[in-house]
Amino acid sequence: MKDSEHPFFRPLWRRVAIVAVCLGWAVVEFATGAPFWGTIALGFAGYAVWQFFYLYKPADEGKASAEAEPEASADTEPKE
């Protein structure tokens, strides 16, 4: 997860799915009696939550809203 701001991760459902898969994998590992690997999977889930929900800042959101404002104001100016 070196590039957590990659466009692939922009949709919220993908970030939620990755965390859910890691948590599900941890449950499977604990249920089959492998607490070491369950702990590793929980660590991955915790790291994913940290990267995708706490630190995540989409790169294009700030640029898109800043670029849209001048265009909108140009359309609303009265024409003589």
Q: What is the pTM of this model?
A: 0.66
Terminal C-alpha separation, the chain: 55
Residue 62 binned pLDDT confidence (cut-offs 50, 70, 90) = low
Q: Where are the domains of the chain?
A: 1-57
- pLDDT tens digit string along 41-59? 999 999 999 988 887 776 6
* Residue 33 backbone class (left: φ over 0; alpha: ψ -120 to 50; beta: rest): left
Residue 32: the pLDDT is 96
pLDDT beyond 90 at 27: yes
Residue 7 binned pLDDT confidence (cut-offs 50, 70, 90) = confident
Residue 22: the pLDDT is 95
